[in-house]
Chains A and B, each alone.
Chain A
Amino acid sequence: MSSSPSSLHLAVALDGAGWHPAAWREPVARPRELFTARYWADLVAEAERGLLDFVTIEDGLGLQSSHPLEPDGRTDQVRGRLDAVLIAARVAPLTRHIGIVPTVVTTHTEPFHLSKAIATLDYVSTGRAGLRVQITARQNEAAHFGRRPIPHIDPLNDPPAWESVAALFDEAADYVEVVRRLWDSWEDDAEIRDTATGRFIDRDKLHYVDFESPHFSVKGPSITPRPPQGQPIVTALAHDTVPYRLVARSADVGYVTPHDTGQARAIVEEIRTEQTAAGRAGELLHVFGDLVVLLDDDPAEAAARRERLDALAGYAYTSDARIFAGTPAQLADLLQELASAGLSGFRLRPAVAGHDLPAITRRLVPELQRRGAFRQAYEADTLRGLLGLTRPANRYATATAAVGA
């Protein structure tokens, strides 16, 4: 069944008690449970109840901070978090349809470990895994590993700073390439259990990935067989040309942060150009708009809630993404308008998880369904299926076939 052109994809981004720094102060928040499995299981179950395509889970290799590059030493906001891949693994067996997409920091971790972790998430969720790649240019996080210096960046927009950030994005692209090669390093039918010869696997269907780059080299093959989706989906958040290029080269879904329709159109156009340049013109690459949302039935109520949260935080919360405060119907209008600029879906960031996530699943989703703009039931068993992405052919199997032909 193909989705209608007006049909949107919807994801939610989960982060602590919600994206507003004062979210944890709300009575509906469960701030003492943020480090428990039950809390995360409840959030993901709620998202699945709303038939959402997937959830993302934020992560980081240091304490959260209101400053883009340094720790802030604050004690009045949520600090501390659990490993996102493991939260994903913990909730996967408790759900059946929804995609689960943890954040992974590429700057200090091993692509070999990560490749098998996400492949395993795909096994434990039977085909619903993805990942969101993220770089870190924070010096304090580099000091947690002590393996490589990260140049000091200040201010954010000076050219040498961008060069070093661009290098981190290039490394992220290499990282994704290695991870994908490792997923392909076992052909789907490599396990043969041939009792006649005593062979468990056909080693001709296992492949060395032999990847070399300035930051790492990886021999392969993976120790984990090719996952159910062949390749779990790869996603990335992008705010400018360099990260747009990462999305265009490496991702299945890119998250962008337009503040209006014109900006959305320009961003989509830039990504499509980069996509063509990367030789992926024919491939389905989703571009999702990211929005922080505060949803209430009365627009004044939503605005008042935003003010109340800002007052609790002690400052007006701003974000890289547009902050929407209004009714579910108003948000539905906005999403449809932004979609007309070429976005195929949205990743909504609930300002208060305990309030705005149920508002998405129980108010926004029915509104979009009434408009024929969102699914009525899960129509596929895998995340690729939900997103209309086919199961990719194995690059090594294709190579073998080509040689044989």
Chain B
Amino acid sequence: MSKPLKQIHLAAHFPGVNNTTVWSDPQAGSHIEFSSFVHFARTAERAKFDFLFLAEGLRLREQGGKIYDLDVVGRPDTFTVLTALAAVTEHLGLTGTINSTFNEPYEVARQFASLDHLSDGRAAWNVVTSWDAFTGENFRRGGFLPQNERYSRAKEFLQTAGELFDSWHGDEVLADQHTGTFLRDAKAGAFVHSGQHFDIEGQFNVPRSPQGRPVIFQAGDSDEGREFAASTADAIFSRYATLKEGREFYTDVKNRLAKYGRHADQLKILPAASFVLGDTDAEAEELAREVRRLQVSGATAIKHLEFVWNRDLSAYDPDGPLPDIDPDLGEHTVARGRAQVRMYRDPLATAREWRERAEANNWSIRDLVIETGNRQNFVGSPATVAETINDFVQADASDGFILVPHITPGGLDGFADTVVPLLQERGVFRTEYEGTTLRDRLGLAHPDAEAAGERAAS
């Protein structure tokens, strides 16, 4: 008997602040006006997507001591825009990336519990840790955390928020007009948390929300990050969108669940993925090349090289060969506020490899950046893309994808109109929303049911 088909989960990442977002296209709209968010969210909901995803950035990035001006810059407040979107959608999950370094558990727990109430159970939290004093300069607590304390604060933050969410059990609000009893229990919301990072106590003031707790997302690829996700997350926002890497990551992380008493289906693995569609595969390939050229201008290519070289390379010709000088080692001073900087752990080796590849292929700086940078994950006709995505999920390389279009706000429209119906025809994607909460959409148990199950089993 063959294995039943896995159901694919799909989400939409609002095109964020990076060079994959093509703003120069005549069809590109505002990245800040609410109407763009409404269009994007409604398209995702029309296509029966699981959720909308927002990334985060708490300081404008700099390069060479100046605000970086080549990419889309400017974004709204996550909680505010997600809650407003709850007013113009009915089913779509609302996932916000919220930093555990520059926030406090009581406030964040209040905001997520409020979002969950105000969206009837559609809230999700992508927990991230910040890594630099640069961002800290915008906040009261200033500073930053040593690398080794980031996860420790994040873990304790999440644990504390969980204690706050659970401080109301769900049956406290009687609101009995006849007897005059509003709360069943004067101690509703009582909590005490004493730990390395937080020493707080009192009463949480938001009653238990429809999902009990928001759906918890994690990103983070280190061994520690994977372990953190396996122990606590409902879903992982990963970056492995090739079949081989995807399967390795999937197997590794799912195998870690057992030691925390969890099943494989209690953690969804959802890589970020970009796509380019055309009427034919050849047309899509051609379009994808054009998009890459738009994403990587000559100026952008030079700036990208500076992430590795940690030097001012503005004198170099983007259409010429790679610099023959070596990267400047030591503290990275050229690009600030960039996650990419951390991707190149050995700049000398990276520079050597890039030079060799460029020489072997006769690539200019710009060609190199285009070839080594973020390629589109799915390029082809709707049939090809639908088949590729389905193969990927059925091969256990992921449970679905968080799609990142390169145009705002209409970049999802074509996918919704052409690829989704093909996935539905194959019986691997929903045609109607099931259940009411985001947990229902993702096939995750309600935390109260899980707790009840544990009690029954013990």
> A200 contacts which of B23, B114, B180, B205 (Cβ < 8 Å)?
B23
Instruction: Determine, out of A108-116, A152-160, A264-272, A332-340, the stretch whose residues face the partner at the interface.
Output: A108-116
Contact between A224 and B111 (Cβ–Cβ < 8 Å)? no
Shortest Cβ distance from A333 into chain B, in angstroms?
34
Contact between B140 and A216 (Cβ–Cβ < 8 Å)? yes
Given contacts A86-B111, A201-B73, 5 further A-B contacts (CB under 8 A): A64-B205, A86-B83, A89-B79, A119-B77, A218-B138
A367 beta carbon closer than 8 Å to chain B: no
Q: Which chain B residues lie closer than 8 Å to A120 at the CB level?
A: 76-77, 80-81, 84
Query: B224-245: contact bitstring with A at CB < 8 Å (1 yes, 0 no)?
Result: 0000000000000000000000
> A123 contacts which of B59, B69, B76 (Cβ < 8 Å)?
B76
Contact between B69 and A200 (Cβ–Cβ < 8 Å)? yes
Shortest Cβ distance from B155 into chain A, in angstroms?
17
B256 beta carbon closer than 8 Å to chain A: no
Can you offer 7 A-B residue contacts whose CB atoms are under 8 A?
A79-B188, A116-B77, A120-B77, A191-B74, A200-B69, A203-B68, A218-B139
Of the four ranges (under 10, 10 to 19, 20 to 34, 35 or more), the interface on chain A belongs to 35 or more
Query: A61-103: contact bitstring with B at CB < 8 Å (1 yes, 0 no)?
Result: 1111000000101111111111101110111111000000000
A residues 26-43 touching B (CB-CB < 8 Å) = 26-27, 29, 31-32, 34-37, 41
Secondary structure at the B interface, as helix, strand, loop or mixed, is: loop
Residue of chain B at shortest CB distance from A33: B175
Q: How far is the CA of A224 from the CA of B79 in the complex (A)?
A: 13
> B184 contacts which of A75, A82, A121 (Cβ < 8 Å)?
A75
Of the four ranges (under 10, 10 to 19, 20 to 34, 35 or more), the interface on chain B belongs to 35 or more
Q: How far is the CA of A87 from the CA of B188 in the complex (A)?
A: 22
A37 with B86, Cβ < 8 A, contacts A143-B200, A225-B74 known: yes
Query: A341-363: contact bitstring with B at CB < 8 Å (1 yes, 0 no)?
Result: 00000000000000000000000
Contact between A87 and B118 (Cβ–Cβ < 8 Å)? yes
A117 with B79, Cβ < 8 A, contacts A75-B183, A93-B34, A109-B107 known: yes
Contact between A79 and B183 (Cβ–Cβ < 8 Å)? yes
A206 beta carbon closer than 8 Å to chain B: yes
Contact between A117 and B80 (Cβ–Cβ < 8 Å)? yes
Q: Which chain A residues lie closer than 8 Å to B186 at the CB level?
A: 73-75
B185 beta carbon closer than 8 Å to chain A: yes
Residue of chain A at shortest CB distance from B180: A76
Q: How far is the CA of A60 from the CA of B203 in the complex (A)?
A: 12
Q: How far is the CA of A197 from the CA of B300 in the complex (A)?
A: 11
B24 beta carbon closer than 8 Å to chain A: yes
Query: B37-73: contact bitstring with A at CB < 8 Å (1 yes, 0 no)?
Result: 0100000000000000000011110000011111111
Residue of chain A at shortest CB distance from B111: A83
Number of interchain pairs (Cβ within 8 Å):
226
Q: Which chain B residues lie closer than 8 Å to A186 at the CB level?
A: 74
A19 beta carbon closer than 8 Å to chain B: no
Q: How far is the CA of A111 from the CA of B181 in the complex (A)?
A: 38
B173 beta carbon closer than 8 Å to chain A: yes
> B202 contacts which of A27, A143, A202, A218 (Cβ < 8 Å)?
A143
Contact between B182 and A79 (Cβ–Cβ < 8 Å)? yes
Contact between B75 and A144 (Cβ–Cβ < 8 Å)? no
Contact between B107 and A76 (Cβ–Cβ < 8 Å)? no
A193 beta carbon closer than 8 Å to chain B: yes
B103 beta carbon closer than 8 Å to chain A: yes
A217 beta carbon closer than 8 Å to chain B: yes
A145 beta carbon closer than 8 Å to chain B: yes
Contact between A89 and B84 (Cβ–Cβ < 8 Å)? yes
Contact between B76 and A75 (Cβ–Cβ < 8 Å)? no
A193 with B24, Cβ < 8 A, contacts A124-B81, A203-B66 known: yes
B137 beta carbon closer than 8 Å to chain A: yes
Q: How far is the CA of A199 from the CA of B57 in the complex (A)?
A: 19
Contact between A123 and B34 (Cβ–Cβ < 8 Å)? yes
B416 beta carbon closer than 8 Å to chain A: no
